Amino acid sequence: MAAETKFSVLPRHIGIIMDGNGRWAKKRGLPRTAGHKKGADVFRDITTYCSELGIEAVTFYAFSTENWRRPPEEVNTLMDLFREYFEELERRERENEKMGFRIRFIGDISGLPADIAALAAETERRSNSETRTTVNIAVNYGGRQEIVHAAQLLAQQVQSGALAPEDITEDLFAKHIYTGDLPDPDVIIRPGGEMRLSNFMTWQSAYSEFWFSDVLWPDFTRATLDEVFADFDKRNRRFGGV
């Protein structure tokens, strides 16, 4: 059962750019890796809160196609955090089933270390029957890369004769992106002080509301998310109409 809320409407799908981990650590004289570890704890709590509220889907920007350019130590720490997350999922499998988490990984998973790619596939298989909250974790992901991937899938169908070019519509294209079975995000959240999408959900964000904040991701709380919901509650979403 969904938790009681004071909002008249909640978003069905939330996108979150988890930004500010490194700056959070620097402010405290800690290595950037400490910020990522703290950010991972916040990810877990916000995921749980979304399920408690009955949010249909939440997509977290965890590792972009551009993040490989970061220092090797930082990249290795992020990969180890993914491994720790898989270990935690195994320990808390019954609890996650109770929460109704369907966990998916979107992006070019084949470009990840082999053990992480295999663990991601197994996690998706185990949670695929859950229906309460879909948790998308965008790893080795880029919005433009996602669009190219969808175009390649459609091109293959055209090449095989299964599809004519004039049959390609926005709706058909949308079904071939990673989140094609979900509603587009109603709101995209970016803490950390930056005001850009950074190649996140480029296709899906056409009519998303945006919420930006100076709060760094490791300081993001359930109360912060409530601020997002209160703001979303006031938005007048016309989708191009009057």
CA–CA separation, 199 and 4 (whole Å): 34
In the chain, which ranges are E strands? Answer: 13-17, 57-64, 101-106, 133-141, 187-190, 209-212
**Residue extents of the structural domains in the chain:** 13-142+185-228
Task: Give the active site residues.
Answer: 19, 67
Residue with the larger pLDDT of the pair 89 and 3: 89
Evaluate if residue 1 carries a pLDDT over 50.
no
**Which CATH architecture describes the domain 13-142+185-228?**
3-Layer(aba) Sandwich (3.40)
Evaluate if residue 122 carries a pLDDT over 80.
yes
Structure tokens at 198: 């950074």
pTM: 0.93
The pLDDT score that the predictor gives to residue 181 is: 96
Evaluate if residue 2 carries a pLDDT over 70.
no
Mean local confidence (pLDDT), 36-63 = 95
Pairing of strands 57-64, 13-17: parallel
Length of the chain: 242
